[in-house]
Amino acid sequence: MFKRIINFKPVYRKHKLKSNWQLIVKTSTKHFLLAFAIFLLLESKAQKQPNILLILSDDAGYADFGFQGSTDMKTPRLDKLASEGIVFQQAYVTAAVCGPSRAGLLTGMYQQRFGFEENNVPGYMDNAICMNDDDMGLPTNLLTMGDYLKALGYNTGYFGKWHMGNADRFHPTKRGFDVFHGFRGGARSYYDFCSENPN
C-alpha cells in the first residue's frame, strides 16, 4: 500500500463527469485526503521532544533538599519535580566556585580550556589576572546549551543568576536563550533593594 502511495498514478474512470470542474474538485479532494492521511501517519509516528528543566543551585549542600533527605529545609515542589524527573545522584561540578562551574555546565567544556577558572572578584584575586567587570564573561565565540537546544527546535529560557558577564555582549538572550529573568552579577540580596539594603 505504501508503495502505491509513493508511486501515485491517476486513475481514469469510464463514466463521464458533467464538467471539468467536477474532475478538478474530485482530484483535489483525493490529493488533499491522501496528503492529510500521510501527515497524520507521520505525525503519529514522530517522537515528541521532551521538556527539559535543568536546575543548578549554587552553594547548596548535598542534603539541603527534601528529596535528598533534609528535614530542616522543606522543598515540596522540588521534591515533586525530583519524583517525576531525573535526579543525578553522582553529578559533579567542574569548579569549586559558582561562575566557572556554571561556565562549564553551559558549554559542556572544562572552563580551564577557555580561561574561565575563577570568579572575577577584585580585592580577592591576583591583580595581574583580575579583569574589569565588563571584560570578564563567557567567551562569545563559545556555544552554550541554549544555542544547541535552539538548533534542535526548543524554546529556551534562563532564570536566576547569570554570572557569565555583566556587559551586554554576554547577556543570556545573546547566548542562546530566548528569555531571561534574573540578575547578571554573581550575587544579590534576597531582600528588596532600599536605602538600608543597597545590594
Q: Which residue has the cell 500521510?
A: 38
Is 98 considered catalytic here? yes
| pLDDT greater than 50 at residue 8 | no
Catalytic residue among 31, 98, 171, 181: 98
Q: What is the DSSP letter of 134?
A: G
Helical H runs in 52-131?
A: 76-84, 98-107
CA angle 17, 23, 24 (to 5 degrees): 160
The reply to whether 171 belongs to the active site is no
User: What gap in Å lies between CA 29 and CA 40, rounded to an integer?
Assistant: 16
Q: Determine which one of 31, 130, 163, 171 is catalytic.
A: 163
Comparison of pLDDT for 34 and 45, the residue scoring more? 34
Say which range, 13-27, 121-135, 139-153, 182-196, has the weakest mean pLDDT: 13-27
- Amino acid, single-letter form, for residue 142: L
Label residue 25 by pLDDT band (50, 70, 90).
Answer: very low
What is the reported pLDDT for 7? 38
**For the residues 109-117, what does the mean pLDDT come to?**
87
pLDDT digits (tens, 9 = 90+) for 119-145: 766 655 555 555 666 677 899 999 999
pLDDT at 180: 94
| pTM over 0.75, yes/no | no
